[in-house]
Amino acid sequence: MATRFRNVDTALIHAGELEQHVEGALILPIFQSSTFEYTGQTSYADLRYIRLNNTPNHQVLHEKLACLEGAEAALVTGSGMAAISATLLTVLSAGDHLLAQNTLYGGTYDFLTQDFESLGLSFGLIDATSPETWSAHLTPHTKAIYVESVSNPLMQVADLTAVVAFARQHNLVSVVDNTFLTPLFYRPLEEGFDLVIHSATKYLNGHSDLVAGTVAGSSRWIKQINARLMHLGGSLDPHACFLMHRGLKTLALRVRQQHTSALEIAEFLDQHPEVCRVYYPGLTTNPYHQRAAEIFEGYGGMLSFELDGGEEQAKHTLQRLQLATDAPSLGGVESLATRPVTTSHSGLSPEARRQQGITDGLIRFSVGIEAAEDLIDDLKQAIEG
């Protein structure tokens, strides 16, 4: 966090904002202009053009995000996947090898398994909770290590402290996808990660009305990633920048409530006689609770659970829920519930799902900002109905 803002709540509102209001407008207008007048720039990257990610709507977001992440620099991108692909294609060159967590977000997993080979890249999958197993996967060409702070859908918490130490020991670039926690609950750069990525589609925007991504780190890395992004073309439209900017201002209010409600809901489910498993690192009985309590300032708003009645009861419960919609994606103000086997993890083979422990009856719940009491009542009637 930049010294100017002692508290994240203040930074969310004021960090990065222009010194002067444009025409006195309280809110930064949308600069819906693909190109801008030439003012004597000497390098291509300094010309103002939407694809170059340097209109006023981009720049304000870059400053605000850098402040939130405690980073030298940050970049917004056209999607979370644009941030992930541009980052990995900057950090890695043909011939390089990546160590990646074995429970990756589906899109990231597909990028590795379907595109890496044709790009001359290779990867090895690691259990990010067992540092003692990682060295065996190193090759002379290993260049980077990639993990997620909390995994989807079983809320596994990687040994993030060990990832930073391992990366330093073996001279690897460390990259973490922190989508599930947001900078409010975990700031990986302060813990020694080189780069942090978000799907801003989720909590950072928080209103399920756009697709965007971010990456933050040293100025040197962000400059290189931006250069690659300019060529790949995954820039963010100014209108989407505006929406993300607006959504970001309430991040702290939203995710604190989502965290508090998620804990209450997890406790309710944990006590419910028809629920056989609850995955939420905030529960003291969760195997990752200790680690999460040490390194995170909150456990986030995502949880998942299994019912005694398995797949049939899960389907029935989803149908009966009145408040949460059955839909993929997460992190918005409206609660969503889904069976990952039908949505987020439908691309995995049944075998791969079984290996990860994702059953057909698993329900993933993205807690919105509705009253926790109402969400609990709704879950209760849906499970018992």
Ligand X SMILES: *Cc1c(COP(=O)(O)O)cnc(C)c1O
**By the criterion CB under 6 A, which residues form the site for ligand X?**
79-81, 105, 107, 148, 152, 177, 179, 199, 201-202, 211, 213
**Which is catalytic among the residues 64, 96, 105, 291?**
105
Q: Which is nearer to ligand X, 48 or 62 (CB)?
A: 62
- Measured CA to CA, the distance from residue 164 to residue 200 in angstroms comes to 24
In the complex, least distance from residue 99 CB atom to ligand X, rounded to whole angstroms: 17
In the complex, least distance from residue 372 CB atom to ligand X, rounded to whole angstroms: 23
Residue 115 is among the residues annotated as catalytic for this protein: no
DSSP 52: G
Residue 279 is among the residues annotated as catalytic for this protein: no
**Which is catalytic among the residues 96, 159, 177, 378?**
177
**Which is catalytic among the residues 9, 49, 51, 256?**
51
Q: Which residues lie closer than 8 Å to 135 by C-beta, 6 or more apart? A: none
**Which is catalytic among the residues 64, 143, 187, 202?**
202
**Tokens (6 digits) for 256:** 């604190």
Residue 51 is among the residues annotated as catalytic for this protein: yes
Q: Which is nearer to ligand X, 195 or 275 (CB)?
A: 195
Q: Which residues lie closer than 8 Å to 325 by C-beta, 6 or more apart? A: 334, 335, 336, 337
Residue 122 · residue 116 · CB < 8 Å = yes
CA-wise closest residue to 159 among 126, 197, 196: 126
Residue 119 · residue 146 · CB < 8 Å = no
Residue 378 is among the residues annotated as catalytic for this protein: no
Q: Which is nearer to ligand X, 199 or 313 (CB)?
A: 199
Q: Which is nearer to ligand X, 272 or 345 (CB)?
A: 345
CA-wise closest residue to 53 among 241, 281, 280: 241
Q: Which residues lie closer than 8 Å to 6 by C-beta, 6 or more apart? A: none
In the complex, least distance from residue 189 CB atom to ligand X, rounded to whole angstroms: 17
Helix boundaries (H) for the chain: 8-14, 56-69, 80-91, 106-110, 160-169, 182-185, 219-232, 238-248, 251-271, 289-295, 310-320, 350-356, 372-384
Q: Rounded to 5 degrees, what are φ and ψ at 335?
A: -70, 140
Residue with tokens 């992930």: 84
Q: Which is nearer to ligand X, 96 or 148 (CB)?
A: 148
Residue nearest to ligand X (CB): 80
- Measured CA to CA, the distance from residue 69 to residue 202 in angstroms comes to 16
Helix (H) or strand (E) holding 115: none
Q: Which is nearer to ligand X, 106 or 357 (CB)?
A: 106
Active-site residue numbers?
51, 105, 177, 202
